């Protein structure tokens, strides 16, 4: 979305960040979660945040909200079953010291293939 809408962004990984969504995943719920934040300097980022960073975050959130679902199957009505819901990484993977991030094309290709079932 950032490239498509010419929004300056930087990808980062927060290995030790915890949230309600992370707690739900750890409890066995299959839910999607993401963290979006403004760029900051040091732990007191709100004290040293450039206005362009806040503007870029606002634009990225707007683009996300107005975009179609990433996985085409999410746009289809479902019964009560979550059988075809795309799976999250298991908890031990979240705690590894290295980051295993599949290429975006690989994730999208696998979801498109599952839609054909």
What is the rounded distance in angstroms from the CA atom of residue 88 to the CA atom of residue 77? 21
- Structural domain containing residue 31: 20-115
Quick check: is 3 in a domain? no
- Confidence at residue 62, expressed as pLDDT on a 0 to 100 scale: 95
Confidence band of 85 (pLDDT split at 50, 70, 90): low
Quick check: is 44 in a domain? yes
Quick check: is 1 in a domain? no
* Model confidence pLDDT, tens digit, residues 4-63: 999 988 887 777 777 788 788 778 777 777 778 887 766 665 567 788 888 999 999 999
Distances (CA, A) of 38 to 63, 84, 112: 15, 33, 31
Quick check: is 14 in a domain? no
**C-alpha torsion 75→77→83→87, nearest 10:** 20
Quick check: is 34 in a domain? yes
Quick check: is 59 in a domain? yes
Quick check: is 105 in a domain? yes
Do 2 and 58 contact (CB within 8 A), yes or no? Answer: no
Confidence band of 86 (pLDDT split at 50, 70, 90): low
The count of domains in the chain is 1
Quick check: is 42 in a domain? yes
User: For the whole model, what pTM was predicted?
Assistant: 0.55
Length of the chain as a residue count = 117
Average pLDDT over residues 54-73: 89
Q: Is 102 helix (H, G, I), strand (E, B) or coil?
A: coil
Q: 9-38 burial, b if ≥16 CB within 10 A, otherwise e? A: beeeeeeeeeeeeeeebeeeeeeeeeeeeb
């Amino acid at each position: 979305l950032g490239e498509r809408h010419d929004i300056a962004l930087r990808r980062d990984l927060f290995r030790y960040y915890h949230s309600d969504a992370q707690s739900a995943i750890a409890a066995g719920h299959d839910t999607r979660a993401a963290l979006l934040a403004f760029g900051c300097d040091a732990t007191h980022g709100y004290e040293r945040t450039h206005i362009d960073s806040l503007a870029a975050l606002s634009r990225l959130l707007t683009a996300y909200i107005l975009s179609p679902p990433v996985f085409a199957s999410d746009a289809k009505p479902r019964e009560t079953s979550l059988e075809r819901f795309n799976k999250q990484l298991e908890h031990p993977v979240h705690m590894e010291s290295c980051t295993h991030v599949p290429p975006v094309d690989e994730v999208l290709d696998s979801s498109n293939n599952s839609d054909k079932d």
